[in-house]
Structure 1
Amino acid sequence: MRTARSHGTRDLGRGAPERRPVSLRFDGWIAGLGTTSRTRLVLGHWARSPFGPFSDVMLERADGHRLLLAPTRRTAGFIAGTYGFDEVRVVPVRVGVAGNHWTVVAGALLDLTFTVGRRGALGVLLRAVPGPVCARPSYATLTGPAARLLLGVHTCGTAGAGRHEWYGAHDLRPVTAATARFEGRDLGSLAPVEPPVHFGFGSTPRTPCLVRVTTTVRAPDPARRSAGRQLD
């Protein structure tokens, strides 16, 4: 598991050393889907991260209200510092995977189930790229133009708190069916991610899908230390 790594400091001869950025790597899956109620949901299911394994859900309502559901104060604080939300709630987020069927339960707020289909040509192509290559920020930068052309998404950009972010995709499968209830209300059936979500510098693909991804966040060291003091 690769986690946050400090690159140390360099004395410039002026008293205070220069602090270099630190890189934080998250390895897992992102599912993005819409519903006929025009609620859009983005699940992050992270097998490896600087915070250990965890899952989170970003939800944007038809009126544009953006909500984060995260399992701990530390994960909620880091995600909210990287993306933009109108509301953050700390609740247990549990994910179950049985074959092609995924279930997500976020406290008493959200019940989501979805099914993924067979990967298409793009998914087959992504799986052919070695994992260590997909994990490099340079890979996300190189594949950015193709991702914008084929999927309408950005693979790299600036984030909150002076951070930069890169998404390296390893696999892509369509989401073929979904049901969702939020606070007891049925959100409707599966629909495109329309309008795009507005959490960060880019949205998920318009067509509902599940992406196997390595996300790298490069953060200024002082910001990371400050966030750690705030969240611990």
Structure 2
Amino acid sequence: MSPTPATRDLRFAGRIAGFGTDSGIRLVIGLWQRSPFGAFVDVMMEDARGHRTLFAPSAQVAEFVGGTYEFDEVLVVPVAAIRIDGGIRVAAGHLSASMRIGPISPLGRLLRAVPPTLATRPAWLQVLDPVARTLVPGVRTAGTAGNGRREFYGVTVARRIVWADASLDGVDLGAFAPLDPPVRFGFGSAPSEPHLVDLVTTIRVPAER
């Protein structure tokens, strides 16, 4: 499946981290190294009531990401990530999170068997989608997004997150937990077992007329 004259592909290369807390808050953190908007970090949060919040570093990112996924609240705040010993720390306005990253997981070893040039190709990801849904419940590799867009997730490496903590407005969000239930920002979720994945996300958007 290739773009047509009526569509164009936007590619985002980087990492996504996903984990939960025993308060019911789940976080999905995007660490984008290359994108149409340059390098940036964004955070998606869903709480135990199902309220979905996007923390975006700019109005431009907020508009695009908010138009691709579904949120109840969009906040434009400073968002940044730094490396710490054994992991990553992220700050997004009054939200902060730290993660310790472990080894490549069994899922990651399976993914490494696929050449990266194939693993990130939309046509391959469309074919792979039914298999991915069976192997990892909640995970999708291709599907529809907001505003007539289609999206393709090409993961090349997957590492376990072995520990994480988070706080919001200075209040601890609870013990590290699986990302369960699945988040509802788009057509699929991150794995329930907390992971940090390297990937290329392709978003196919209607061409400007």
* Shorter-chain TM-score tier: over 0.9
Out of 75, 84, 91, the position equivalent to 2:61 is 75
- How far is the alpha carbon of 1:138 from its aligned partner? 1.6
Counterpart in 1 of 2:108?
A: 123
Out of 109, 131, 134, the position equivalent to 1:146 is 131
Question: Which structure's CA Rg is the greater one?
Answer: 1
Between Structure 1 and Structure 2, how many residues are aligned? Answer: 206
- How many angstroms apart in 1 are the aligned matches of 2:88 and 2:188? 24
Describe the SS at the equivalent of 1:118: strand
- For structure 1, the residue ranges without an aligned partner over 5 or more in a row are 1-5, 8-18, 226-232
Please give the per-residue CA displacement for 1:42-61, whole angstroms capped at 9, x wherever unaligned: 00110000000001000001
Counterpart in 2 of 1:180?
A: 166
- How far is the alpha carbon of 1:130 from its aligned partner? 2.5
Counterpart in 2 of 1:106?
A: 92
Describe the SS at the equivalent of 1:188: coil
Counterpart in 2 of 1:134?
A: 119
1:195 equivalent to 2:181? Answer yes
Normalization by structure 1: what TM-score?
0.84
> In terms of mean alpha carbon deviation, does 41-50 or 191-200 score higher?
191-200
- How many angstroms apart in 2 are the aligned matches of 1:195 and 1:122? 20
1:51 equivalent to 2:14? Answer no
- How far is the alpha carbon of 1:139 from its aligned partner? 2.3
Counterpart in 1 of 2:152?
A: 166
Describe the SS at the equivalent of 1:202: coil
Change (3 A) 1:99 1:149: farther
- How many angstroms apart in 1 are the aligned matches of 2:18 and 2:147? 24
Q: Which has the higher contact order (CA 8 A, sep 6+)?
A: 2
- For structure 2, the residue ranges without an aligned partner over 5 or more in a row are none
- How far is the alpha carbon of 1:124 from its aligned partner? 1.9
- How far is the alpha carbon of 1:99 from its aligned partner? 5.8
Please give the per-residue CA displacement for 1:103-126, whole angstroms capped at 9, x wherever unaligned: 00112x111001111112321232
Higher helix share: 1
- When the two chains are superposed, the root-mean-square deviation of aligned CA atoms in Å is 1.6
Counterpart in 2 of 1:229?
A: none
